[in-house]
Structure 1
């Protein structure tokens, strides 16, 4: 059954508008045809970019150039060349039992027809496409470049891609490819030449890839750029080349040069191989399906993978780099995988890669990419904001407080942007992020022989952290990470948010830091308490389980001047400066007033001051109640004064309020002006804090008394704790109710019992 574009709600006519907008929308859905200036470029090996002027010696450069000359057959020059087909690999497309779909050709403006013709003609001449009678047909899309004259021709495979089964072959994680350079002094980068065109198409893949244009019906003979599964097919063959899993079938290995076979220590099959012994390589049979293992001596070449057609490598010495390059080029010749000479660099102090700049010192964001971001205006649509944030996600590990600054942009709606309503914070966030990406710090290469340092930081709406390492007494960043807090986490105490920041580092960098000692600098004692406490419950339990697996040294810093600021490198911002920047960028979720839920055990180990604990109880049947309050002197938790009071005609909440008021009066009589108050009554604590409303008249009067009492203190911090951590005040309250009389703790044994 054939279907046209109207049946599939596809665009039936010409699709021409400004190029950057169309490409940004359909980048992952169109096959983009590169410009074909020269499909057979000559290659002058003497133009290879080798060495560093003023650093490398003529002898060193001569040694590397000799290697390139020896393997000159594997290099191609400038332009999008059509390489010879790679050995042992084909591109196959599986659509299951899907019926063929034939979409009609889209019209092309007369003044653009000749450009389309020239492109199709070149593809035919070089055997990249051929005429087709396939039941499949996908239309072309013409994209005008910004100059309004030149074009980009694409094939709209969106419909076909819905039927093609996705390969499960994995692409490498880019962050993983950027590590492993800590001991390298010299670098090289190789870009495979028109790599996808080196892969032959199976017969059924040719039919499925067919496309139509005003000049006819064509199908691909070689794998096109952008086709679904194409990157995965190419990644598979490059990985096999670099790691050496399976070898070529004998009939193809017989075509390999003798010098290559000798270097790889492979015996040439020769004429003794017969068709009966070795099945022929069919269109649907790759080296992986033949599964002939390589000899044990033919192991990894570089000890690292590529990212599709980009290979980067570093070595400790020039001689080692030359040796690695020679081995790599022999492997590439064995598979016939060509290298673009103009796009490759050899023997450099730094190289561009994915797109980062790698050197012996560390990793930077590519300056060219950063400059492109700098000139961007504030987007006019939500899609534009999302595109900007998406581009920064690639570099978020370079931006120290990315979740703090970007949170306000993530909250924008399309209606807000189009109406231009209250965008001041969003625009400020946008400009700050642009400045940060232009001035990204150097990230050091992670060294697993040294301890890693974690410096967490959190505010009302985000938790972020620095993962670093110490060099010459100074902490340098390895990467930054963080995230915006969810609605439940917004109400956590700031100390607990710092725990979230640490857990984020452990999650994101687990494979990098696992097995290495960690040093964590934190402003609170919560982290150490969670690991060591035997009474932790709730969310602290899973946190403690995760943290207990790590070899961590928790170091508490009260203020930056305590020493942390002095050992932080230039790439790490002091914590108080991060807070200053954040004050003008508060997102909507940052306006939520969070209750400081924290237990007494989480008070700092070196806390000095006075703590008031209070409690209240009442009998429902008699409405008789009691309250108890204890003043503690810290450190040491010694009892300054403890009293119990009996009351008539009260509820439990009345009794709790009375306990707080009696305790405040005790502190006032002792001329205490700075006080930490703890209690297990959520209602009383949060009403006094202003977090919940008070509607009952009897409690409103008590609340007014508390507000009056608060004026007598210069600092009054109220903390809600679990009942388990308020046992002393609970004991006083219970005993008072049993005695049915007010009393004061005076006996030494009673004091020791409380302590």
Structure 2
């Protein structure tokens, strides 16, 4: 067994000993350098771990001529770095060949710390206010080494696929537990060893602090930021619409799901605003240096960040919803390339992935509550089971919970609004007591049955013609968007839509309700139907459009609808009530041409 002669421990040699004495090389401060650099010889001498840069960075001199090989291909991990007696930080360097200047601190370092330099004496005179608040420490304080800080253990077992081992830093739980690399505070404090990225506070603010359990048995810190959120100006950045995002998956056959670790904590709070996040515990008063969970703008801020990271990949090979990322491809060869690109960008932006929640190279994956495959989108069987085993509600609150859960999957249920109508009517007027009826019980059982028989929704294919089936009743309207995939004559649903009629709409006659159903369907799927490659077909059982086109006078509402219909090219196939279902009774009216 090999032992380290420096500390006597096993498992490493002296060049990589975490207790090795700090090296004190001379650093060149170069305002013309775009990055911080370290000489390869110094890296080898000190045994500093390095990893590849993906992609490599091009390096040129002031005359645009390449330096050395012309590219920076490796960089170090974050290192404990001390300048002078009291200035400490954690800093990463790109590896180059520069024996004359083993360390070069470039413009990013100067911009971060803004030091005051005497050009006459060539010495650093004093540090900026930013450093006085964070980087400078008491003279008796010693730099905190990584080995002296208790880190979360790496995920036991489980490794990323071999194709991505060069991005293993992205899956590091230890690195995710650190503060963002641009943070000037080397803060490793935590409350009960769970919360990182905080520091002691003297803020007048004080939110409540508590823990809730997680699925994996761990604890999730929660802070009551209702007071702060009430006075926060909303950041109106939109979150993706999940159904619209899933429509991008047409033709995809291979999927990889990534889950970012402590995503919000990877975003730095703007300097000077940390005091607003202060919270109190039985062990003291703290404030966040990074964005905590619970802030009203946190989802929008992180979505803006993740969209910027993957801007040119969104809609092509990536779906990103806050900290959930789905990579999709038509082939395995293409997929590996695209996953590597995603991991490279995560590594470049110091975003880390929770390996135990990732799924690689799957033909079917569960993402955002949906089961996704090349066939289409279907409901998560675990959630379907939860609905089918749901007990009969006995209070208003229990009924609200059931309808809220069921409403998430309403796009899979044909005529959902009509089926659930007797249940939603029980909540009209905000009653305090639930008046359960036989009609409500029948609707409850019918809705649960619809969940067990819900179809797989196919990914819409713009190369194939669409079929829109509409229906209207006295209480609601519904529609189905379908296509014929492979099997001739068989329609496969792509989406369902339904809603209840308003009080005014319930006064419409049958023909106008059918017209309203068509209008609602075209509005819902306008992004697929307007300008479609092929004229689409609308199936209904009323001569509503014939009435609309032949009427000598139209009321203002009908005139608006007629104008709206001219934006689409489609045919209406209707069935006379006495001959419903007979193929020879089908007649066609063409609209939009």
Q: Which category describes the TM-score, using the shorter chain as reference length?
A: 0.5 to 0.7
Query: 1:341-374 CA deviation, whole Å, 9 max, x = no partner?
Result: 1111111111111110110000001111222222
1:405 aligns with 2:517: no
1:145 offset after TM fit, Å? 9.6
Q: Give secondary structure in 1 for the equivalent of 2:239.
A: coil
Residue in 1 aligned with 2:192? 121
Q: Hey, what's the Cα distance between the residues in 2 that align with 1:564 and 1:416?
A: 50
Structure-2 change in CA distance of 1:450 and 1:436 (3 Å): same
Q: Hey, what's the Cα distance between the residues in 2 that align with 1:494 and 1:338?
A: 57
Residue in 2 aligned with 1:82? 177
Q: Hey, what's the Cα distance between the residues in 2 that align with 1:414 and 1:401?
A: 20
Quick one: which of 246, 254, 261 aligns to 1:186? 254
Q: Hey, what's the Cα distance between the residues in 1 that align with 2:271 and 2:410?
A: 44
Superposed, 1:99-110 pairs within 5 Å as: none
1:84 offset after TM fit, Å? 5.0
Quick one: which of 195, 201, 219 aligns to 1:132? 201
The root-mean-square deviation of aligned C-alpha atoms, in Å, is 3.4
Superposed, 1:356-435 pairs within 5 Å as: 356-413=370-427, 421-435=435-449
Q: Give secondary structure in 2 for the equivalent of 1:179.
A: helix
Q: Hey, what's the Cα distance between the residues in 2 that align with 1:85 and 1:537?
A: 62
Residue in 1 aligned with 2:557? 539
Query: 1:190-231 CA deviation, whole Å, 9 max, x = no partner?
Result: 111221121122333321110112222111122222222111
Q: Hey, what's the Cα distance between the residues in 1 that align with 2:162 and 2:243?
A: 34
Name whichever of 386-395 and 127-136 sits farther off: 386-395
Q: Hey, what's the Cα distance between the residues in 2 that align with 1:605 and 1:301?
A: 37
Quick one: which of 47, 66, 75 aligns to 2:159? 47
Does the 8 Å CA contact 2:395/2:434 hold for their aligned counterparts?
no
How many matched pairs? 430
Q: Hey, what's the Cα distance between the residues in 1 that align with 2:283 and 2:252?
A: 53
1:153 offset after TM fit, Å? 5.0
Q: Give secondary structure in 2 for the equivalent of 1:312.
A: strand
Residue in 1 aligned with 2:539? 521
Residue in 2 aligned with 1:291? none
Quick one: which of 447, 470, 476 aligns to 1:462? 476
1:120 offset after TM fit, Å? 1.8
Q: Hey, what's the Cα distance between the residues in 1 that align with 2:527 and 2:428?
A: 38
1:500 aligns with 2:516: yes
1:556 aligns with 2:570: no
Q: Hey, what's the Cα distance between the residues in 2 that align with 1:382 and 1:66?
A: 53
Superposed, 1:336-735 pairs within 5 Å as: 336-413=350-427, 421-471=435-485, 472-473=487-488, 474-516=490-532, 517-531=535-549, 535-558=553-576, 559-563=579-583
Query: 1:564-599 CA deviation, whole Å, 9 max, x = no partner?
Result: 999xxxxxxxxxxxxxxxxxxxxxxxxxxxxxxxxx
Residue in 2 aligned with 1:208? 276
Superposed, 1:49-64 pairs within 5 Å as: none
Q: Give secondary structure in 1 for the equivalent of 2:365.
A: strand
Which of structures 1 and 2 has the bigger CA Rg? 1
Does the 8 Å CA contact 1:131/1:217 hold for their aligned counterparts?
yes
Does the 8 Å CA contact 2:541/2:575 hold for their aligned counterparts?
yes
Q: Hey, what's the Cα distance between the residues in 1 that align with 2:183 and 2:281?
A: 32
Q: Hey, what's the Cα distance between the residues in 1 that align with 2:316 and 2:348?
A: 16
1:531 offset after TM fit, Å? 4.6
1:334 offset after TM fit, Å? 1.2
Does the 8 Å CA contact 1:239/1:305 hold for their aligned counterparts?
no
1:168 offset after TM fit, Å? 1.6
Structure-2 change in CA distance of 1:546 and 1:456 (3 Å): same
Structure-2 change in CA distance of 1:84 and 1:351 (3 Å): farther
Does the 8 Å CA contact 2:223/2:294 hold for their aligned counterparts?
no
Q: Hey, what's the Cα distance between the residues in 1 that align with 2:458 and 2:511?
A: 28
1:511 offset after TM fit, Å? 2.1
Does the 8 Å CA contact 2:317/2:338 hold for their aligned counterparts?
no
Structure-2 change in CA distance of 1:143 and 1:185 (3 Å): closer
Q: Hey, what's the Cα distance between the residues in 2 that align with 1:231 and 1:565?
A: 54
1:502 offset after TM fit, Å? 1.5
Residue in 1 aligned with 2:300? 232
Query: 1:446-502 CA deviation, whole Å, 9 max, x = no partner?
Result: 111112111001111111111111122211111110111112221222232122111
Name whichever of 414-423 and 167-176 sits farther off: 414-423
Query: 1:7-56 CA deviation, whole Å, 9 max, x = no partner?
Result: xxxxxxxxxxxxxxxxxxxxxxxxxxxxxxx96332578534xxxxxxxx
Residue in 2 aligned with 1:335? 349
- Ranked by relative contact order (alpha carbons within 8 Å, sequence separation 6 or more), the top structure is 1
Residue in 1 aligned with 2:61? none
Q: Give secondary structure in 2 for the equivalent of 1:454.
A: strand
Does the 8 Å CA contact 1:182/1:447 hold for their aligned counterparts?
yes
Alignment TM-score, normalising by the size of structure 2: 0.66
Structure-2 change in CA distance of 1:376 and 1:387 (3 Å): same
Q: Hey, what's the Cα distance between the residues in 2 that align with 1:230 and 1:209?
A: 12
Does the 8 Å CA contact 2:194/2:221 hold for their aligned counterparts?
no
Q: Hey, what's the Cα distance between the residues in 2 that align with 1:540 and 1:415?
A: 32
Structure-2 change in CA distance of 1:228 and 1:356 (3 Å): same
Does the 8 Å CA contact 1:144/1:152 hold for their aligned counterparts?
yes
Q: Hey, what's the Cα distance between the residues in 1 that align with 2:333 and 2:184?
A: 33
Listed as ranges, the gaps of 5+ residues in structure 2 are 1-149
Structure-2 change in CA distance of 1:152 and 1:317 (3 Å): closer
Listed as ranges, the gaps of 5+ residues in structure 1 are 1-37, 49-64, 91-117, 245-298, 567-603, 607-755
Does the 8 Å CA contact 1:302/1:324 hold for their aligned counterparts?
no
Q: Give secondary structure in 1 for the equivalent of 2:321.
A: coil
Q: Hey, what's the Cα distance between the residues in 2 that align with 1:444 and 1:507?
A: 20
Does the 8 Å CA contact 2:170/2:352 hold for their aligned counterparts?
yes
1:71 offset after TM fit, Å? 1.0
1:540 offset after TM fit, Å? 1.6
1:184 offset after TM fit, Å? 1.1
Alignment TM-score, normalising by the size of structure 1: 0.53
1:241 aligns with 2:336: no
Does the 8 Å CA contact 2:171/2:355 hold for their aligned counterparts?
yes
Q: Hey, what's the Cα distance between the residues in 2 that align with 1:301 and 1:402?
A: 29
Q: Give secondary structure in 1 for the equivalent of 2:340.
A: helix
Superposed, 1:29-48 pairs within 5 Å as: 40-43=152-155, 47-48=159-160
Structure-2 change in CA distance of 1:409 and 1:300 (3 Å): closer
Does the 8 Å CA contact 2:468/2:480 hold for their aligned counterparts?
yes
1:418 offset after TM fit, Å? 6.1
Does the 8 Å CA contact 1:522/1:555 hold for their aligned counterparts?
yes
1:83 offset after TM fit, Å? 4.9
